[in-house]
Structure 1
Amino acid sequence: MKPEYFEDLISLCTDISNQENKLLPLCAAENVASPFSKIPLDTFLQEKYIMGGVMEYQNHSNFVGSKKLFKIYELLSRQCNKLYGCKYADARTLSGVNAVMTLLMSLFSAGDTILISSEECGGHGSMPKICQRLGIKTIEMPYNYDLYDFDYCQINEILNSQKIEGILICLSDIIIMPQLNRINLPEDCVLIFDATQILGLIATKSLENPLKWFNNDQKFILMGATHKTLPGPTCGLIMTNNLKLAQQFDTLINPDYLRNSQLHHIFSLILTLMELEIYGEKYCNAVINNANILGNILTTYDFKVIKVPHQYTYTHQIFLSMPQNSAEKFYDRCLDYGVSINYRNKYIYKTCGLRIGTQEVSRYGWDNTQMLIIAKILRDIRDNNSFSQDISDRINILSANKQLCYTIEKEYFDIIYNALHYS
């Protein structure tokens, strides 16, 4: 018997698929996971539960088979140690924001004061709202808009003169690695760096690893979502070298703040990290190279591309600065053509602009040739007030060439697939 809304479902699936196939993906917040990474997502792991933390197996109140499932946590820890050098790794939280909320609830109390990255300098807009709801007081971190980094002298003055329990840095917009080692971190102050946008770049040493800037006694946490430059499933990955600090939230995450730790996603993340171990250096070099090539070409087409010392960006993102009215029109036209891009009304863009990311287009093996085509498409979208079929055709031709690169060979895909599906 056919469900009542089955025809609507078919129509919706067709529309979404057609849209995705024609999309020119320049959104800095999305990426595409490989078939290898997605092997666990349709397996029995989706239905499995395991209770307790990741530091040691807890037999009490657990389920049949949980002891074997705990080895998934151990494998993730080994893989993260290899790529990030961390002593503790945890991917039980469901997303980057969920990970931040869990850490805030575990490590701080109502009435505590933390420094926080402001939305104007690229900070995640939800963080002040979450802190307010939890009763945590916030102070915006001073920022140097000429250097595109924080004002560490002023930050250290605040830490010196006031009782600050924590620092929360969550940057959605980031073209240079913040030099967090310049923060004089007090002994009892927790520094959480949400590196969602650049976790892949850190893993492959394309950017410095901030875990190396802090000793094992300092309360530093590197965390983030795992679906940007780290092209995996949606998880919240939490890492630290301070095991005493980890003990404060390890057994609170599960079972107190969530129950189902989504083991299929965690296993998928492990496969993504293994893929990144082999192909990540080439992939991330391509991401950063493409971003700077695109930035340079767009500059020759009279786009105002924001530049940091020596190049346009050290990440997957480039910033286009535009007057608000022009930015809104350009953004709307991009949407009409199926070009995924982010509108930004933040001071870091010199009041307003657009954010472009090259992490997904680089996954398809695109290089200088495609960056030139993209730049011309963006130029022509900007310069044409009416819809152009020629522009649309060029986008469709380019978007038809989406063949995933930097992924595991079929031989190894088959081994893992068969082991999870047919054993």
Structure 2
Amino acid sequence: MTITVPTAADSVWRHREFRSYLTAQAASLSGSAVSTIALPTLAVLELHASSTQVARLAFLGQLPSFLVALPAGALADRYGKRPLMITGDLAAAAILATIPVTTVLGTLGLGQLYVVAVLLGVAKVLHDAAAISYLPVLMEPRLLQQANSRIGAVFAVADTAGSNVGAALVGLVGAARSVVADIASYLISAWCITRIRTPEPQPGPARRRVTAEIWEGLAYVASHPTIRSLILALSACSFALGISNTYWIFYLLTALHLTPTALGVVMGAGGVGSFTGALLAPRIARRTGPGPMIIMAFATVALAQIPLLLARPGRGWQIILALALVIQLFGAAAAGTTQRSIRQIVCTPRLQGRAQQTSTWLTAGARPGAAVLAGALAAGIGVRPTLAIGTVLLTVPVLILYLSPIRTLAEMPTPVPAARECKEHR
């Protein structure tokens, strides 16, 4: 038995609460893109941070995705997801509000920015853990793929717009004042979530420690062939891209001599690929089957990396690189929205948060190791061979998925029956 394909009358845009959910997520993401630019700019221009201190700030901002992801998933399964989303948004707004306040008082320092980066990361992980596992509560299983497709498309626009607005705001009003836009975005997100009235299943009483619930989630993912294969592929892809991305911009600027403007055009073109890939993913999956489509999309991500290895300085190669990035992010978005829908559909409802955050934990954990390995490889064999190794490693997730049950998935799977869920819970 498979999920019924939604008709035109089943458009997710007809669901008012989905619109509130999507508006909240888009507002939060666009605001975060502003602070992603504002915080390092503030550190460099106002506090005269060194390159090492800027790198430390970036590292601390990414650290919670690895350290807090698993506990956040357990909390999302133990408590109401909607209150956790609101709590995460309000906490993020309060944390960021300390920056303009201390700037006015003249007490802002690098130490505070480090603390803000960590606490803001924790608040965002808490919100995201609840948000991704809340979507299956809002939407019927047959609408999940369409919902994730629309979310991916809107996120591509919101992220690009947020980065552009962030750069403009920093130039117009300064880095500290531009943070106010991010504070407002979190408040808007919290307000939109309060408008959602769909009741979610009440979690059972907490009888065990959080660590026991975390282990239960890890064991569940390890024992589920479909979820395990998808998460392993995502982690392998994250590791391979982490090697390449460590020197991606450096290579474009130094070896290929791109100007900052040309770099911005190339990177901006990728947003078009993300938008269209997310939007067209359901249609492609219906024609090819979601399993084969995901495998082909991961293969596209690897193949689109090849032009970077062949490129030489010149306008023609810049155009080729921009097109390659469009194709690569098209594949990444198409695979991302589809695999997320599959995981949400087949996952036991009471383990949604932990299963989704296991993916966050593994993919986030792969990046620091990839960066360290990339540094060692570049020092030993050079940047171009390091990029080549990253490209070769992008074939690993394709192999993982080809040897998994994903290869035979011709239609979206059947959700976990309520009777089976009750049996697993006892």
**TM-score, normalised on structure 2?**
0.30
Structure with greater strand share of residues: 1
Structure with greater helix share of residues: 2
Which is bigger in relative contact order (C-alpha 8 A, separation at least 6)?
Answer: 2
**TM-score, normalised on structure 1?**
0.30
